[in-house]
Structures are given as C-alpha cells and as structure tokens.
Chain A
Amino acid sequence: MSLVELTQIRKSFGPVEVLKGVSLKVEKGEIVAIIGRSGSGKSTLLRCINGLEQVQAGRILVAGIDVTARNADLNALRERAGMVFQSYNLFPHLDVERNVTLALKLVKKLDREAAGKVARDVVTRVGLAEKLHAYPDELSGGQQQRVAIARSLAMQPALMLFDEITSALDPELVGEVLRVLEGVAKEGMTMMLVTHEMNFAKNVADRVIFMHEGRIHEDGPAREILQTPRTAELGSFLSAVLH
C-alpha cells in the first residue's frame, strides 16, 4: 500500500470548486514537488492531506489512516504527517526549544529531558544550535522557517508537507532553507512540497506534479517533466516562472 493515496477528491469553497477530482499515490521515500499557478489548487491539496480542509467527495488515506472518514483520528494523522507553512507559524510566546518540545510533551508524552534532547538534536540538524533559547522575533525569516522544519521533524513523521515555505522569504534567505530541505531529503524522508523553486524541484525532487485548474495536468519524473513539458499549459507556466 502506498503511503499517501488520494482517490477522486473534490473540494469547493462556496461556489468555487478548487479541486475537481484529484487522484494520486505517493510511495514511501518519494519526494514530490507540486507546481502550478496560484489558484490551481496545489496548497489546498496539501491542506486536505493534513485534514486542515474537509473534502466534499473522494477518499484520502495517509499511512493507513482514512482522513476523510467521519470519525477520522486527525491527531493520529498529524503525528504522522508534519506540515510546514509559508508564514512559519512559530509560537511567538515560546523560545525555539519550547516551540519544538511543546508537541513532544503533549502529544508524544515525552518527559522534559527526553523532549529537550530531541529538540537539541533537531535544532542542531537545521544549523541553529546556538539559537536554542532565542524567541521567534529575534530570528530572521530564514531562521524561523528552519526552526519550523525542526519542530515538524522532531515529531518523526512518516510524511512531511511543505506549503510554499520559501515564498515569504527575502531572496538571500531562500538558500539556507532549501539546503535544510535537501538535508532532510537525503535522510530518506517522504516529502510533498508546493514550491515555486524550479531548480530545487529539478535537482531534489524525484517527481513533479503540475496542477492546473483543480486537476493534475502532468505527473512524472522531475527532470523529464521540467525539461520537456508535454502540454502547452505547463510549457507556458514554466516559461512564465523561469523569466
């Protein structure tokens, strides 16, 4: 069984149908970049997988948990699927360490010491060991985003979802975040990323999905898709973002 299985999901906001029947399978260890114009439904797709949005039709299975079931155990799902947001969403009243340990203590029921050890470990992995006791407003955007990645990593999820995590950053800070992502990818994490960084998608992702008007328009190996688009829509999208 695949780690993520979407079957014909449909999602509307009021009268606007954002996802018009999306089916998709993601295997363990795969790195999938989702690209497309704004409004194509790519962020919504990610949010549905994490149960932040409810779908009107279709079925979503993540690590064997039926997200779309009426009585879905969303907390169990979210323990297994971490999510990183465009706007970092660190908790402003907690320092870096406690941002990371909060869910470890409350959800994973680790004691203070064990949680602290995990926090030091993941924060070191994103290169911010010396910022363990800094507060979010004392960090740059890039550093905050790296902490957000560490916070999600600490939960040892089976799958990580990244929603345009470099879009809010100043250009000179994008690189440090992408390097952390590459590191996570090398460790074998299953990742789904909504991104505008085409070079990153080409070099790090195994597979690229191009969303267009609420549907998956193209889906295939990253280099092949990006170098030789099969459809006119992807072609015009790529020429628009690359210039």
Chain B
Amino acid sequence: MNYNFRFEILLRYQAEILQGVLLTLQLSVLTMVFGLIIGLGVAIAAGSPSKWLSVPARFYVETIRNTPLLVQLFIVFFGLPSLGLRLSADLAAVIALSINMGAYGAEILRAGFESVRRSQIEAGRSLGLTAAQTFRHVVLFQATKAIYPALASQFVLIMLATCVVSSIGVTELFHQAAFIDSRTYRSFEAYTLITLSYLILTLAFRALFSFIYWAVFVRRPAR
C-alpha cells in the first residue's frame, strides 16, 4: 500500500464546509420544529376517541416508522411531480424530513404527556386551577422535562439523517464531500473529513443539550 493521504488539500474548502454545516443545521432545526407541530397534532388525533381521527393517525405513524427515509424522500421529490406538484430540492427535503419526524415526534410527545401522573392534574384542579392553568403550570414543565432527553437525541439523529438529502442535490454538509471529491479526486479523504465533521457536531450538540438540561431542569436557583 503506497497511497499518500493528503488531508491538507481539503483545507482549501473551508468555506464550502462551513456553508454545508449551516444548511445542515437549518434543515435540522426546521425539521424539528415542523416535525413537532405535526407530531403534536398526530399525538392528539391518535389519542382521540373518534376513530375517524385515531385510525388515520396511527396509520401515518406506522407507515412512516416502517419505511426508509430515503424512499419517503424519493416519493416526495421524484414522485409528487407526476401529480403536478414540482418542488425544489430544498423544499422537498424539508417536507420529507418533517413528515418523517412527525411520526417520531408523535410517539415522543404521547409518552411525555402520559408520564405526568393523573394525580398531579387532580392536585392542580383541587386547588381551583383551571384546566388551562393546570396544563400550563403543572403538566407542561414536567412533561417537557420527561421528553427533553428523547427530543435531544432525536435532534442528533435528525442531523445525521439529513445527509440523505444530498442524494437529491441539496447542498448540505454531506453534499460537500461529493463536491470536494469531484474537485480533488480525493474520495476517501473527503468523505472521512466530512463524516468526522458530523462527529464534532454530534458531540458539541450533546454537550450543549446536557448543559441546557442541567440549567433548566436540574439546577435549582439559590434563594
């Protein structure tokens, strides 16, 4: 084996990598926000006593969770145009990722609200708090604390999963590997560097999320 590893020539592409990182983070945040909005609606519908709401909601969750994200993405980006719905790659990516996250978000939210015991709601109501006040001051904080760890790891999973959208030409971080490869013919170095960039992002976000958890849920203000 006499291959010379030339990682240093990749340094020229700092600007592209940075741009890729920003787009990856934008995609991840948008996916998280839209996914949770969808997830909230689906979680409420799935728990509803009406079959007209609960059956479609469960069907959605099962369908998304049992098919690959890549195929969902292809259906949105390549499939929908045959119905006359032509989307840009960026928009298709956000839509497919959000629909995907919605199914996982629904499960996370459902588990979170179920984790707050009924007795806590009764305690709030028996003090004369309205249903809305009980939700806002008693349930919400406890449910948020319960779902926070799952949401934090879900964010990292999404960030890692966004790289599949490079396959439809979205110029996020993973796409930059193909770009650098095409300029330098240094495939191995390019993909290794980009893959390790994700590791840095993962570790940084895990640390940030742990700190936020500690600051919001664990630390108790000295008074």
Contact = CB atoms under 8 A, between A and B. Distances in A.
B210 interface: no
B120 to A, nearest CB: 6
Contact of A89 (B123, B130, B133, B223): B123
Nearest to B126: A83
B14 interface: no
Nearest to A84: B126
A106 B125 contact: no
Contacts of A200: none
Interface residues of A, number: 26
Interface string A91-132: 111010000001100110000000000000000000000000
A107 B122 contact: no
Interface in A73-93: 74-76, 78-79, 82-83, 85, 87, 89-93
Nearest to A100: B127
A133 interface: yes
Contact of A102 (B127, B145, B220): B127
A43 interface: no
A143 interface: no
Most chain A CB neighbours (cut-off 10 Å) among B127, B128, B145: B127
Given A95-B220, A135-B220, A106 B126 contact: no
Interface string B133-176: 10001100110010000000000000000000000000000000
Q: How large is the interface on B (under 10, 10 to 19, 20 to 34, 35 or more residues)?
A: 20 to 34
Given A102-B137, A133-B223, A135-B220, A89 B122 contact: yes
Contact of A151 (B120, B127, B223): B127
Interface string B44-58: 000000000000000
Contact of A107 (B123, B129, B138): B129
A78 B129 CA distance: 8
Given A89-B122, A93-B142, A102-B137, A152 B127 contact: yes
Interface in B164-223: 217, 220, 223
A52 interface: yes
A122 B136 CA distance: 25
A74 B126 CA distance: 9
A50 interface: yes
B137 A106 contact: yes
Contact of B122 (A82, A85, A93): A85
B138 A75 contact: no
Nearest to A92: B142
Interface string B112-131: 00000001101111111110
B129 A106 contact: yes
A151 B123 CA distance: 10
> In the complex, which of the residues A78, A83, A90, A91 has the most CB atoms of chain B within 10 Å of its own CB atom?
A91
Contacts of B123: 85, 89-91
Nearest to A81: B126
A158 interface: no
B137 A74 contact: no
B85 to A, nearest CB: 45
Contacts of B127: 78, 82, 102-103, 107, 151-152, 155
B130 to A, nearest CB: 6
B125 A74 contact: yes
B140 to A, nearest CB: 10
A89 B128 contact: no
A82 B223 contact: no
Given A91-B138, A92-B142, A93-B142, A75 B122 contact: no
Given A92-B142, A93-B145, A107 B128 contact: yes
17 contacts: A75-B128, A75-B129, A79-B128, A82-B126, A85-B123, A91-B123, A91-B124, A92-B142, A93-B141, A93-B217, A95-B220, A102-B137, A106-B129, A107-B127, A107-B128, A151-B127, A152-B127
Given A78-B125, A89-B123, A103-B128, 18 more contacts: A50-B126, A75-B128, A78-B127, A79-B128, A85-B119, A85-B126, A90-B123, A91-B137, A91-B142, A93-B145, A102-B129, A102-B137, A103-B129, A106-B133, A151-B127, A152-B127, A155-B127, A155-B128
